[in-house]
A and B are shown apart, each in its own frame.
Chain A
Amino acid sequence: MTTPSGRTPSRLAAPGRRSFLTGVLGASVLGLAACGGDDDTAAAGSGAAAGPETTEPVVLTVAWWGGPARAENTQKVLDLYTKAHPNVTFKTQWQGYSGYYDKINTSAAGRNAPDIIQIDNRALREYANKKLIAELDPFVGKTLVTDQIDPKLLGTGKVDDKLYALPLASNTQAFAVDATVLGPLNLLPAEAGWADYDEFSTWAASVTKATGGKVWGTRDESANLSWMEPWLRQNGKELYDGQALGFSEAEAVEWFTLWDDLRKSGGASPAEVSQPANSGDISKNTVTSKQTTGSFTYDNQLTELAKATDHELQLVPLPGDLSGNYARPSQFFTAYARGKNIPTAVDVINFFDNDQAAGEALGTERGLPPSKEIRDAISPTFSDQLKYVVAYDERVTAEAGPTPPVPAQGDSQIGQLLTSAAENVAFGRAQIADAAKEFVSQANSALERAGS
């Protein structure tokens, strides 16, 4: 509130109305003045003088999204690094996934982004093309050791054949189920999941029926691009074809109809229940809130989910064959191109992937360790839960399809557009055909704009 309460009404009536108008408008403009940054395009890599072996005190800012479990593990690794290099200390910023990129973008616009930025493949192309993150090739073989990382996984951090991002871990798509609820109902799905979506729908509806409508079989995932993608792949399509959508309106209609039927049969939770998790925030997960017995997840997220519930959770593959799945870089670490000390930042990033103690601290919370050597060395120390995640991942990725190229630039907007369209359908505010049509046309023009 900007009301100048110091002014008394008697004096308010006094100035001419015109000057009052000017003042008030001025006040409104103040709130609007956009943040224009100056446009210095100074070369990246300032402060490169201090290498990783420097003894000068260095403070690096590290940013990631995630929950409390990740925060704890990450802090442990950073502490390990500081122990080995007492001159390097860290400031950390972490938050939920929703709003994370806004914050990074805002700080980047102010030329003040964190030195080490966690991203996923959705932002990779954008950040690399806009030169927000530093190219890592000059460090490979020196500060950065990559030979223990599967070339396919390492390749997911490359844009136009240049390495910009180091995968911190890999994961794959899964469906988390609540065994504590489903076990006694005799509705626990088999380890291999469901043969197709019909079987899945029948299962979901019978769960809701068995719980008396108190707990739904599955969360309505129609707004979730992360599930739509493997579903498209199962149907022989891809999410993107270069800088355009890899599917058409027909598939969008089919996708919305699939979930509409699931909602109507009672198998999927109603829109009101599903909506909060549409922002991608793991703390809003409907399985841990015990509103549904199943929801989409990436396998590594089991650590965080299990921490948020007292129920036993299990992982099964998404319905249908495993060709839709792929080994996915769950997150990357990147170095801010204008960072204070890029070589040290790269050394820290390398530490996350290649140090054994770091690997032990990280477990599989972020996903499977990318370095084969580390994975083999630390697997024996894993808890049963972590071993379970590794077993699931290895079982599924063995039959999974090829990893698609880095998503198109503007990917984050496609997620928003899908969410908006799916919510409109779920809340009965739009017909499926109209929503699908608008989604596809809006998505294509957003991609075209982002790519130009």
Chain B
Amino acid sequence: MADTASRPPRVSARRAARPPAPGGSPRRRREAVAGYTFLIPWFIGLFGITLFPMLYSLYLSFTDYDLLQSPQWIGLENYVRMLTDDPQYWNSVKATLVFALVSVPLKLAVALGVALLLYRDRRGVGLYRALFYVPSLLGGSVAVAIVWQTLFGGQGAINEILGIFGIGGRSWITNPSTALGTLVLLAAWQFGAPMVIFLAGLKQIPAEMFEAGSLDGAGRFTQFWHITLPMLSPVLFFNLVLETIAGFQGFTAAFVISGGTGGPADSTLLYTLYLYLRGFGDFQMGYASAMAWGFLLVLGVITAIVFRSGSLWVHYADEGEH
């Protein structure tokens, strides 16, 4: 891994994959047929399970569809209602934005911090890495959300602990000003996946850079700021993109902790939860489809912005060599 990092691997990889002679020979055609044949199961998945339902949902977003009877074409009505006549929709947009904007940076910061502590080979470090990863294994599960609900409930463990220190507890889950915070905390706690990726990234930074840095008298913080962070920026970027998308799609915890309502007072009504409630709770699948497409559009724009911003701060090792 260490040697591929210093030299762009894509060139060699592409060259190796390229056929020896330009196509046309019968043998090559046979190979192509065999290749596509092997791909058929994947194509069935792509068209049958991904592409068709997606495009169908685009169609549904222009209809009034109650899941049980045929959809009725209503044009843009769902979109108009979404944007102009649904206060709950905007509550859900607000909750989702707050959730993603707070939980994603927090999660990445924790992941990076723990990765920095764990990336040097010390005795037992493998065990610690595994232990810190455990919450992510449980992450999306309903069980953890239920535990969370109990921990932060009015008569839960968090309040018991606070009580020892004489701090008057409150019901964190049922208060609209703190309920979303508990969800953010739950999301940040599941930092295992980005942590593992950070660890791999950290291990690739050549040790000579740090040696050279300390010879020049750079302290630990300077080294972190000027060596670790720039060298890690592609990995950070990757994590940022993935976590942003995952953050906006948060559902399970909000659903379980709020008892499937998005309450109290819509404070945990994350976008996908609201979408679910409209689609499956109220039989408004046309409207829910419109919400999904609005979401896709906005998420696409946000991701594009993150990508654009990447050129300002992401440092690719291979670019420096030109």
Contacts and interface: CB of A to CB of B under 8 A. Distances in A.
Report whether chain A binds chain B: yes
A17 B307 contact: yes
Contact of B264 (A1, A14, A27, A427): A427
Contacts, number: 191
B265 A429 contact: yes
A281 B175 contact: no
B228 interface: no
Contacts of B177: 427
Nearest to B68: A130
A184 interface: no
Contact of B197 (A5, A99, A108, A429): A5
Interface residues of A, number: 65
Interface string A202-233: 00000000000000000000000000000000
A428 to B, nearest CB: 10
A3 B192 CA distance: 10
Contact of A14 (B13, B175, B277): B13
Contacts of B310: 17
A11 B9 contact: yes
Contacts of B136: 1
A34 B300 contact: no
A9 B234 contact: yes
Q: Is the interface of A mostly helix, strand, loop or mixed?
A: helix
B85 A445 contact: yes
Given A1-B136, A10-B1, A15 B10 contact: yes
Given A279-B261, A445-B85, A12 B235 contact: yes
B93 interface: no
B78 to A, nearest CB: 11
A35 B8 contact: no
Contacts of A29: 50, 54, 296
A419 B60 CA distance: 29
A273 B265 contact: no
B44 interface: no
Contact of B60 (A32, A34, A106, A284): A34
A310 interface: no
Interface string A367-408: 000000000000000000000000000000000000000000
A31 B246 CA distance: 9
A109 B249 CA distance: 23
B181 interface: no
Contacts of B307: 17, 21
B120 to A, nearest CB: 18
Interface string B231-271: 00011001001100110010000000001110111100000
A53 interface: no
B297 to A, nearest CB: 11
Contacts of B264: 271, 275, 278, 423, 427
Contacts of A272: 154, 170-171, 174-175
B210 interface: no
Nearest to B87: A438
A442 interface: yes
A441 to B, nearest CB: 10
B280 interface: yes
A273 B171 contact: yes
Interface stretch (B20-28, B32-40, B213-221, B284-292): B284-292
B189 interface: no
A423 B176 CA distance: 9
B288 to A, nearest CB: 7
B230 interface: no
A21 B304 contact: yes
Given A9-B235, A272-B174, A278-B263, A102 B276 contact: yes
B154 A9 contact: no
B67 A28 contact: no
B279 A34 contact: yes
A132 B1 CA distance: 58
Given A10-B4, A13-B316, A109-B68, A34 B289 contact: yes
A3 B176 CA distance: 31
Interface in A267-313: 271-273, 275-276, 278-279, 281, 284, 289
B6 to A, nearest CB: 10
A101 interface: yes
Contact of A3 (B68, B193, B292): B193
Nearest to B204: A10
B56 interface: yes
B206 interface: no
B282 interface: yes
B261 to A, nearest CB: 5
Given A41-B69, A108-B68, 11 more contacts: A25-B303, A34-B57, A35-B53, A39-B70, A99-B259, A272-B175, A278-B261, A279-B259, A279-B261, A413-B282, A420-B263
Interface of B: 1, 4-5, 8-10, 13, 50, 53-54, 56-57, 60, 66-71, 85, 87-88, 136, 139-140, 153-155, 170-171, 173-177, 190, 192-194, 196-197, 200-201, 204, 234-235, 238, 241-242, 245-246, 249, 259-261, 263-266, 276-277, 279-283, 285, 288-289, 292, 295-296, 299-300, 303-304, 307, 310, 316-318
17 contacts: A1-B192, A9-B235, A11-B9, A12-B238, A13-B317, A28-B245, A32-B54, A32-B295, A33-B53, A34-B53, A98-B259, A105-B283, A108-B68, A271-B174, A272-B175, A419-B261, A438-B87
Interface of A: 1-3, 5, 8-15, 17, 21, 24-25, 27-37, 39, 41, 98-99, 101-102, 105-106, 108-109, 126, 130-132, 271-273, 275-276, 278-279, 281, 284, 289, 410, 412-413, 416, 419-420, 423-424, 427, 429, 438, 442, 445, 450
Question: Top 7 nearest A-B pairs by Cβ distance?
Answer: A34-B57, A423-B265, A99-B260, A36-B56, A275-B174, A109-B67, A279-B259
